[in-house]
A and B are shown apart, each in its own frame.
Chain A
Amino acid sequence: MSEHIVTSYDAELSRLNRMILEMGGRAESQLAAAVNAFSRRDATLAATIVRQDDYIDALEAEIDDFAVRLLALRQPFAIDLRMVIAAIRIASDIERIADYAANVAKRTIALTKSPPIGPEKVVPRISGMVEAMIRDVLDAFVERDVEKAHAVWRRDSEVDDVYTSLFRELLTYMMEDPRNIGPCTHLLFIAKNIERIGDHTTNIAETIHYLVRGERMVEERPKSDTSSFEVVAPASQGSAPEQGGES
């Protein structure tokens, strides 16, 4: 798209673009750092990450204010209007992503107080997948690349699969030894937080679709996290966790 007749308008829209990228980049680093703190069992680093979340909240507020200003003063139409709306939506998703990253850090602090348990190694794996999704979705945003956004969107089901299998594994640990329940619950929440980050990344992919194409994305949302439907049979009845519907 060519430039606006009023050049300061272009400058404002590219500033909005940069703000989104900065916020997205920071949220991605927060997640990477939180998982790093988790792997190293570093409570000090984790505490720093929790504190840094305020900065991302402030960025979201700044993007919101700037977007409202653009709406009021420029009264954008068409692609420009969609850009402003997309910025507000994406900033809100990134803010949630950063919140979840901070939550990972918080639970890491709690986890450092008990000895490590086996399934912890899954966390860097699932996080690596999600971090790559964030990077790619931000690239898709910069390049206004709908195909790339769709590809990120589809990858979310792999994250859900890893999460679901971790969920099952943790259930068996907890059933084996009730002393595992505390750390396993934290671990489960950490994994759940990261899985939720994947969901927000798919939201961003949908927003990119809207931004570029001007219409809502119609495909069914990939939802393969089936853990909400799991029921647990007590070990005394002699069976592993089974899958069934909630009643």
Chain B
Amino acid sequence: MPFNGRADRTNEIPKIVADHVDVFYGEKQALFGVDLEINRNEVTALIGPSGCGKSTFLRCLNRMNDVIPNCRVGGSIRIDGEEIYDPKVDPVILRQKVGMVFQKPNPFPKSIYDNIAYGPKIHGLARDRTNLDEIVETSLTRAGLWKEVKDRLAAPGTGLSGGQQQRLCIARAIAVDPEVILMDEPCSALDPIATARIEELIDELRENYTIVIVTHSMQQAARVSQRTAFFHLGVLVEVGDTEKIFTNPADDRTQGYITGRFG
């Protein structure tokens, strides 16, 4: 096809395969048999109205739901073929591999340097101080923050602007060398300029990572993702190429949601 710059990814094996995932919070079922494949080095956007289960699904991917009492997850989620709900899997190791960035930037009340260095230290990823310095620099550079903070690494992370704090959190997630980065509405507390910076960053990061992002902004999903999954009432209604979802969705519920006919 002319003008189609996208590489053919049909032969690639998905990074994450979710198979019939059910989630219960006590008696209440939040997700119903979600089957979803997430491609490597792509951004997958999860969209849907509040309470649709998109964030619940995101949190399943690094077992963040484990910490919620009464939460039960059924079905199977495999990353590179390995079942992450296998009892032998250490959730701490899993969360190193599958990092997360939250809605509100949540830097530790420490210096910029320590915010980044903390993870590599506890996971024993740095050989020595020089190596740790390198990790801090690389992570901040990848997160597009190095130039802005390199002269004040000892300053508190909480003193940065909202957009910088969010990039600091992304740098912190990158520092432990993850394979997957989960983002839960990472820009909802940011202004449009800071949002654009994060979106530009997401686009760069997908070269090295697999990214799953939950967003309430349809425009953001359209701008940053290659694939979009629409959730409604705990069900995965439709998943497909972002371009297809936003120009010609197959399901009426998807169409109703993205065109603002219900929500």
| Interface set of A (CB-CB < 8 Å, partner B) | 1-6, 9, 75-82, 213-215
Contact = CB atoms under 8 A, between A and B. Distances in A.
A229 B90 CA distance: 76
B106 interface: no
Interface string B221-263: 0100000000000000000000000111100101110111111
B228 to A, nearest CB: 11
Nearest to A215: B248
A78 B260 contact: no
A8 B260 CA distance: 12
Given A5-B262, A82-B248, 5 more contacts: A1-B252, A1-B256, A77-B247, A78-B254, A78-B258
A9 B246 contact: no
Contact of A1 (B219, B248, B255, B263): B255
Interface in B183-232: 218-219, 222
Contacts of B254: 78
B259 A3 contact: no
Contacts of A79: 255, 259
4 shortest A-B CB distances, which residue pairs? A214-B248, A77-B258, A77-B246, A78-B255
Contacts of A9: 260
Contacts of A78: 246-249, 254-255, 258-259
Given A77-B218, A78-B255, A5 B260 contact: yes
A4 B254 CA distance: 14
B247 A81 contact: yes
Interface residues of B, number: 17
A2 B252 CA distance: 10
Contacts of A77: 218, 222, 246-247, 258-259
A2 B247 CA distance: 18
Which interface residue of A5, A9, A77 has the most chain B CB atoms within 10 A? A77
A76 B219 CA distance: 10
B261 A1 contact: yes
A75 B248 contact: no
23 contacts: A1-B256, A2-B261, A2-B262, A3-B261, A4-B259, A4-B260, A4-B261, A5-B260, A5-B262, A9-B260, A75-B219, A76-B259, A77-B218, A77-B222, A77-B259, A78-B254, A78-B258, A78-B259, A79-B255, A79-B259, A81-B247, A213-B248, A214-B248
Interface of B: 218-219, 222, 246-249, 252, 254-256, 258-263
Contacts of B219: 75
A216 to B, nearest CB: 11
Contacts of B218: 77
A15 B218 CA distance: 25
Contacts of B260: 4-6, 9
A125 to B, nearest CB: 40
A99 to B, nearest CB: 30
Contact of B263 (A5, A75, A214, A215): A5
B111 to A, nearest CB: 41
B245 to A, nearest CB: 8
B257 to A, nearest CB: 9
A213 B248 CA distance: 8
Nearest to B250: A214
A6 B261 CA distance: 8
Nearest to A6: B260
Contacts of B261: 1-5
A80 B247 CA distance: 9
A10 B190 CA distance: 30
Contact of A81 (B246, B252, B256, B262): B246
Contacts of B256: 1-2
Given A75-B219, A77-B218, A214 B259 contact: no
Nearest to B258: A77
Which interface residue of A9, A78, A81, A214 has the most chain B CB atoms within 10 A? A78
A3 B246 CA distance: 18
Contacts of A75: 219
A214 B262 contact: no
Nearest to A2: B261
A71 to B, nearest CB: 12
Contacts of A76: 259
A76 B218 CA distance: 10
A101 to B, nearest CB: 33
A80 B248 contact: no
Contacts of A2: 256, 261-262
A213 B263 CA distance: 24
